[in-house]
Amino acid sequence: MGDKDLLLTEDSIESATVKKNVGKRTQIPKIPWYMAGGFVLFWASLFLAVVVPLFYRLPQGNTFEDASKGVFIAERAQENLYDFAKIGIKLVGSDGNENKTVQFLLKELALIQANVREDYFDMEIDHQIAYGSYERNSALYQYQAVQNIVVKVTPKGSTSQNYLLVNSHFDSKPTSPSVGDAGHMIVTMLEVIRIITTSTDKFDHTIIFLFNGSEENSLQGSHGFISSHKWAPFCKVVINLDAAGSGCRELLFQTGPNNSWLLKYYKKYAEHPFATTMAEEIFQTGIVPSDTDFDIFSDFGNLVGYDIGLVCNGFVYHTKYDRYDVIPRGSIQNTGDNLLGLVRSLANAPELADTTETGKAIFFDVLGLFFVSYSADDGKTLNYAVAGIAIFLVYVSLLRIADVSNVTSAQVLSWFVLILVLQVVAFVLGLALPIVVAYMFDKNGLSLTYFSTPALSLGLYVCPSLVGLALPSVIYLKLQKNEKLTYAHQLQMALHGHAVVLSILGIAINYYGLRTTYIITWTLVFYVLTVGLNLVTTLQDRGFSWTGIVKVIQVCPFLYNSYLFYTFIVVLTPMMGRFGQTTNPDLIISALAALGTILSMGFLILLINVSRRSGLILLALLSVTAATISIASSTDIGYPYRAKTNVERVYYLHVRRTFYEYDGTVSKDESGYLFNFQDRRGSAPLVEANVDLTGMVSMASDCAKYMMCGVPYPDSRYVKSRLNGTWLAREIPIEPATDKPLELLNKTVLEDGLTVRLEFKINFTDHSTLYIQPFEDVTISSWTLLDSYLSSTPPYYLFFTYGVDGSPVNLTLEIKKSNGDFNVPLAQIGIGRQFMHTKGDLTAQKFAETFPETAVLIEWPADYHRYIF
């Protein structure tokens, strides 16, 4: 060998002599296995060093010293939040909600009104007491005297009849002081009103601020406003503020509908963007166990706008731990900056005059640093174009490989088809292996192991996904005997195969109509850049030189995709604790972790094949998985619940149920605890903690025997999961209320002889339920409830709420019967009453004391009376 030959590198030999030495297969470069292991650790470190801090980043909270700058003052809002928190529980119908919170709001608003710049604004405060009813999700909701506080800020000289509406709610669920959901939003609105009304800003449109007092009761306060308030007909755009957690940033998770222009304002004026189309599409599937006022405004008022909510730390959501001390000042500042910017901009938006549909949009923030949005139509075109370009460039690259390797393009394409099949297998394994782990854990009663230790997801789901993605290529590249292609070219073809798999998937889901396709598209964009640069610079012909560009350019999709899927895991993990018993929540978390891994690391993990001992990397990943499985299944680290921070939600009612027959005799009178377990593990953790649940039985048999299972459901969530409800009888009767809930006032046969009119008086509590089921041979032809609901399929069920007016409800039913015989049973009526402001009796209190501190109890007395008329 001459001196000149000694100067050539291995890569240059490979590229310069490949055509002359086709029969001799180039050796795998001698990169130590630990270097490839360090490569994997580098990306893990990048995630921890960049993605996680940016996800939790909050602005510095402004103080009173900044008051002269016209900016949002988080310190002042935080003081208001402290006072709000001191009120405590704010159930509709309670003194805390109907008196203390209303007076708190009126007092703060009066202070603001006293300082309004009257040369710029008029400010009106209206105290609404709303009555109404509506049909939703197969149920009827009726409310009586629920309270809203409505503020109208009108710019001087404005003649616009198009109003901007800003809404949030101040009521709470049982046991919760509602500081995050949604006191955080209430005090943010107060501060925004202060800033605006003391400024010299000029606006075109009036702004309505709705402090609604009954959201947690099936969104009744918002319906009361939009259906009957004098200012409601002028509202055109809504900013709805809610929460499924406490602290951190607020997520824009719904917009529109079909008004893409709204994103233009969010992009320009939301100082701390946090949003994604994927959140909108997930929420609209109904998979998230929550609902918001946004849908009421959209369905009943044809409003468009934004649905924004706090999403971190959902573990405390709707529990007694939703407290003041879990919300940092920076979180309030984050919300305030965004809301103030949106309100100021939309109050001058000409689009309020015409909110006709302009189409859907694709939108997302990038690590909270900037915001991207474009129309769904443009997105669809972009998705197809990028997928097509990716496939085309892969084809060009394959032709180039054939040319420099002195083989036919048909040969290269045939080899690529095999590699493509392997990459399809890799994609399936990358998705399936974490799901298999999730399935096996659930099969053995170990679901939710990650609930209080999220890091377990890395070993349980991420590592198996990486193994699945890399395993087919590792086996193929180790065992194949193709001496006509260099190892580097075959590895490059493996990456091309992954790109084609993503392209085909992107085309398919784009055709299906999912805007979330953008994630695949932007992942492919960066690979397209990689392939294009390697082709132009001929680096793809120079051994492994092309991997450098892959590594550099993949930083962008890695950061975004890992950030996006980390967001969903953070948001959805707490929700898995209230997802019910019928679905394995681990399947959802494992699938999200797997998809995030595939999109973040799909190209990068294949590069471990530059090491001679890439199998050791897979072995290390499998070892991490095995160790995590052992820890999660056999130690307290894998136990889902922690006191105060990651609690098990235990909902149950202390029920006294009484069944009256047609002749007035009592056929059933029993007491017990009606459980509605919120997560997959059900009662098992309580039994393990020695809670005495002996004799607890499924409600399924009662559901088959009695109308609506013969128990008083407090909300639609109980109704949906009623077949999974359980009943624990108790010997000591629960003392019912002294008054009887139903009184028949009159029974009158009408002139046609085929119709009878029944008139009742019902004594409801502030949270009650009414069931009505006519017998088979009769029909209810008319009633004093909402007419449209009569066309529903029986049994009819009504959820009733009142705020400050607890007067009895009069109900009239007109029942038809073809033979005119009304001296026989005609219908069943069931009345369930919740006593949410009352503690259980001594027996119930002693029972509650037996629960572990890792369980948060949400319980109260209730009664149920079933009548036959």
Give the whole-angstrom CA distance, residue 730 versus residue 144.
34
pLDDT of residue 386: 98
Name which residue leads in pLDDT, 291 or 759: 759
On the question of a cis peptide bond just before residue 114, with omega within 30 degrees of 0, the verdict is no
Q: Mean per-residue pLDDT for 273-289?
A: 91
Tell me which residue of 620, 826, 864 sits closest to 33, measured CA to CA. 620
Place of tokens 């030495």: 21
Place of tokens 């209206």: 126
Confidence of residue 9 (pLDDT cuts 50, 70, 90): very low
Check pLDDT > 60 for residue 123: yes
Distance, CA of 322 to chain centre: 18
- Is the separation of the CB atoms in 197 and 117 below 8 Å? yes
Q: Which residues contact 643 (CB under 8 A, 6 or more apart)?
A: 853, 854
Q: What is the pLDDT of residues 500-551, one digit of tens each?
A: 999 999 999 999 999 999 999 999 999 999 999 999 999 999 999 999 999 9
Give the whole-angstrom CA distance, residue 17 versus residue 13.
6
pLDDT of residue 134: 97
pLDDT of residue 10: 38
pLDDT of residue 30: 61
Q: What is the pLDDT of residues 395-447, one digit of tens each?
A: 999 999 999 999 999 999 999 999 999 999 999 999 999 999 999 999 999 99
Check pLDDT > 70 for residue 2: no
Check pLDDT > 60 for residue 830: yes
Q: Mean per-residue pLDDT for 73-77?
A: 98
pLDDT of residue 737: 77
**Residue type at position 566:** Y
Confidence of residue 855 (pLDDT cuts 50, 70, 90): very high
Say whether 173 sits in a helix, a strand or coil.
coil
Q: Mean per-residue pLDDT for 557-576?
A: 97
Task: Copy the structure tokens of residue 191.
Answer: 């501060």
Q: Mean per-residue pLDDT for 485-514?
A: 97
Confidence of residue 14 (pLDDT cuts 50, 70, 90): very low
Q: Mean per-residue pLDDT for 780-808?
A: 97
Rounded to 10 deg, the angle between the 546-553 and 555-575 helix axes is 40
Distance, CA of 420 to chain centre: 35
pLDDT of residue 377: 96
Tell me which residue of 820, 812, 814, 826 sits closest to 867, measured CA to CA. 826
Place of tokens 């032709």: 399
Q: Which residues contact 17 (CB under 8 A, 6 or more apart)?
A: none
pLDDT of residue 29: 60
Q: Which residues contact 54 (CB under 8 A, 6 or more apart)?
A: 367, 368, 369, 563
On the question of a cis peptide bond just before residue 733, with omega within 30 degrees of 0, the verdict is no
Confidence of residue 13 (pLDDT cuts 50, 70, 90): very low
pLDDT of residue 1: 42
- Is the separation of the CB atoms in 785 and 142 below 8 Å? yes
Give the whole-angstrom CA distance, residue 412 versus residue 390.
18
Tell me which residue of 163, 153, 167, 150 sits closest to 201, measured CA to CA. 153
Give the whole-angstrom CA distance, residue 74 versus residue 394.
53
Give the whole-angstrom CA distance, residue 30 versus residue 8.
17
pLDDT of residue 27: 52
Mean pLDDT score across all residues of the chain: 94
Residue 490 Cα distances to 36, 439, 542, 665, angstroms: 18, 35, 13, 84
Percentage of the chain modeled with pLDDT above 70: 96
Percentage of the chain modeled with pLDDT above 90: 91
Distance, CA of 362 to chain centre: 18
- Is the separation of the CB atoms in 90 and 172 below 8 Å? yes
pLDDT of residue 739: 83
Residue 106 Cα distances to 109, 112, 197, 398, angstroms: 5, 10, 16, 72
pLDDT of residue 762: 98
Tell which CATH architecture fits domain 64-367. Answer: 3-Layer(aba) Sandwich (3.40)
DSSP single-letter state for residue 646: B
pLDDT of residue 773: 97
Q: What is the pLDDT of residues 185-226, one digit of tens each?
A: 999 999 999 999 999 999 999 999 999 999 999 999 999 999
Q: Which residues contact 131 (CB under 8 A, 6 or more apart)?
A: 143, 144, 145, 224, 228
Exposure string over 786-813, b if 16+ CB within 10 A, otherwise e: eeebeeeebebbbbbbbbbeeeebebeb
Distance, CA of 662 to chain centre: 47
Tell me which residue of 245, 186, 181, 246 sits closest to 212, measured CA to CA. 186
pLDDT of residue 286: 81
3-state SS of 322-381? Answer: CCHHHCCHHHHHHHHHHHHHHHHHHCCCHHHHCCCCCECEEEEEECCCEEEEEEHHHHHH
Give the whole-angstrom CA distance, residue 506 versus residue 493.
20
747: part of which helix (H) or strand (E)? strand 742-749
DSSP string, 771-830: EEEE-TTEEEEEESS-GGGGGSPSSEEEEEEESS--PPEEEEEEEEETT---SS--EEEE
Q: What is the pLDDT of residues 21-32, one digit of tens each?
A: 443 444 556 677
Domains in the chain: boundaries = 26-53+380-638, 64-367, 648-868
- Is the separation of the CB atoms in 808 and 744 below 8 Å? no
**Residue type at position 595:** L
Q: Mean per-residue pLDDT for 642-655?
A: 97
Confidence of residue 717 (pLDDT cuts 50, 70, 90): confident
Q: Lowest-pLDDT range, 88-97, 329-338, 661-670, 716-725?
A: 716-725
On the question of a cis peptide bond just before residue 257, with omega within 30 degrees of 0, the verdict is yes
Facing residues of 242 across strands?
309
